[in-house]
Amino acid sequence: MKLKWLMALLPAVLSGCGGNTAPTPPKDTVAPIATIAPATDLASLRVEQHGKVSLVFSEVPVGFSVQDDLHVSGATVISSTQHSETNFTVEVESTISSGQSVSFEIPSGSFTDATGNGNARAALLIPVNDQPPLIYSPTFTALTYTPETRYSYYTFGGTVAFDYTAFEAPKLIGDSLKSDLLVLSQGSKTLSRIDSKGDVAWTYPTGGRFVFADENFIFVSDLTDLTIVHLLDGAGKLVKDLKFDMDINYVATSGDSLIVVYNTIAPVDVYGWDKNTGLGSLKFSSLSVSYARSASLLNDNLAIADTFGDRTVVQSVRDGKIIMNRSTYYANDVEWRGDFVYVVEEHHDRVIAINILTGKSFVVLAPPIIGYWDANITLGSAPRYTCNSGSSLRLGASDTCSGMMTLYAPNGIKLLKDGMWLADTDNSRVIFVKDGEVVSTLSGFNNPVKVAIPPGS
């Protein structure tokens, strides 16, 4: 009893003796710190490239959210992942031109720590370099199929064994297609729609060398009269015709404009266009080009593959100013991607991309032979390698010689967000390239020259 009585008195005794006068801990006044850093060794981003940054906090942040408090300029936030209370990863896609920087900022006062201290500002800049959004490296990958050898091909002496043949369904090697695909086979005078499984949905006869598709129509030449362009629906049924005074090599829509490329020495014309009323008045005529085979309009800039003129030209449709005049070897197709013009150089067996802001050229895809990857190669001076394909001699650019990741006299291109379709003409195939490899091949076309994505796909 005495022990319990003494224990009960102990707190009061200690209090009276100054036993509870330990100093009060100082108040936390230190601002919490957020650090924004590249999640990987990311010195710069390409246009449209995805990149990741990490957010690391010195203390558990109170009231912070990536959506509300991370300010990103020059890029779109794709996703964010929280690994712990103090560690996040954010993935972005750059949306600005080369020479600018993607900026990340968490402004001061965006969040607090547990005791209410506001954060200090955090920021990061990642420059956007001048490389194109889609670009690959020299790669040799062994063939996964038997090469097609029945159709024409190019040698140092010119095209060998070109002949018109009946259309045959291609063979699909690799992944199924992300969407249906239109392929213009010049050697069989056939436009075919290929479904995602690689099967032929329908065919349409055409004597031209182009196909173009927008969200409303498929544009393709008449079988015998190349001054007539047929407009088809997605099922391959004729909707209406356009009639011109000269043979047509290519047409394409761009908003309220229709681009018309002639099979002669002439300007490329840009007309008004409406899906319901059709062709409008002439809006612009370019400089004269020689048997051009493609043109593409982005905003006010018209890119032209001046095929027989061995050049690619960019001209303003607003004031006629020549923005770019670049030597390219037998350019057969052009397509815009931001500040870049992608050019298919048939007889350099490759695709290049030209940054029109800097004028710098990049080899995007070519045979895995060193000389092809010189962006500034002299016209006609591609490496002169050969190999045997049965009883015939093929150039080093052929799939027989160089495997899957090569091009042999390519003619057409269609850029997608994550890769590109290519009409690899003298390899008698159409390929889809993604992440540095050929993931889908349609083999067995006779002289495939253009590809497009049909309406609704």
CATH number of the domain to which 54 belongs: 2.60.40
pLDDT at 388: 72
Q: Is the same domain home to 254 and 116? A: no
pLDDT at 391: 62
Q: Is the same domain home to 335 and 208? A: yes
159-210: pLDDT as tens digits: 888 899 999 999 999 999 999 999 999 999 999 999 999 999 999 999 989 9
Does residue 29 lie in a domain region?
A: no
Three-state secondary-structure class, residue 301: strand
pLDDT at 320: 97
pLDDT at 8: 44
Q: Is the same domain home to 245 and 291? A: yes
pLDDT at 382: 78
Q: Is the same domain home to 187 and 109? A: no
Q: Is the same domain home to 201 and 79? A: no
85-122: pLDDT as tens digits: 999 999 999 999 888 999 999 999 999 999 999 999 99
Q: What CATH number has the domain bearing residue 204?
A: 2.130.10.10
- Are the CB atoms for 138 and 401 separated by under 8 Å? no
pLDDT at 379: 85
User: Alpha-carbon Rg of the chain, whole angstroms?
Assistant: 31
Instruction: Tell me the whole-structure pTM to 2 decimals.
Output: 0.88
The residue among 127, 144, 177 that closes a domain is 127
Q: Which of 438, 435, 371 is nearest to 399 (CA)?
A: 438
pLDDT at 21: 59
Q: Is the same domain home to 121 and 172? A: no
Q: Which of 78, 70, 127 is nearest to 102 (CA)?
A: 127
- Sort 166 into a burial class: Cβ within 10 Å, 0-12 / 13-18 / 19+: exposed
Report residues of the chain scoring pLDDT below 70.
Answer: 1-22, 389-391
Does residue 137 lie in a domain region?
A: no
**Parent domain of 49:** 34-127
pLDDT at 20: 57
Question: The tokens of 312 are what?
Answer: 């690619």
Question: The tokens of 286 are what?
Answer: 């370019």
Q: Is the same domain home to 196 and 96? A: no
Does residue 6 lie in a domain region?
A: no
Q: Is the same domain home to 163 and 113? A: no
C-alpha dist (Å) from residue 451 to 213, 317, 356, 390, 425: 9, 26, 25, 29, 11
Three-state secondary-structure class, residue 426: helix
Number of domains in the chain: 2
Q: Is the same domain home to 205 and 341? A: yes
Count of Cβ atoms closer than 10 Å to residue 84 Cβ: 9
Does residue 425 lie in a domain region?
A: yes
Q: Is the same domain home to 53 and 170? A: no
Does residue 226 lie in a domain region?
A: yes
Rounded CA separation 427/97 (Å): 35
Does residue 282 lie in a domain region?
A: yes
Q: Is the same domain home to 394 and 438? A: yes
Does residue 15 lie in a domain region?
A: no
- Are the CB atoms for 74 and 96 separated by under 8 Å? yes
Rounded CA separation 22/130 (Å): 64
C-alpha dist (Å) from residue 347 to 89, 159, 235: 45, 11, 34
C-alpha dist (Å) from residue 344 to 63, 127, 170, 370, 398: 52, 28, 23, 18, 16
Count of Cβ atoms closer than 10 Å to residue 455 Cβ: 17
Q: Is the same domain home to 180 and 86? A: no
Amino acid at 17: C
Q: In what order do the strands lie in the sheet with 437-443?
A: 171-174, 437-443, 429-434, 419-424, 412-415
pLDDT at 82: 96
Three-state secondary-structure class, residue 186: helix
Does residue 291 lie in a domain region?
A: yes
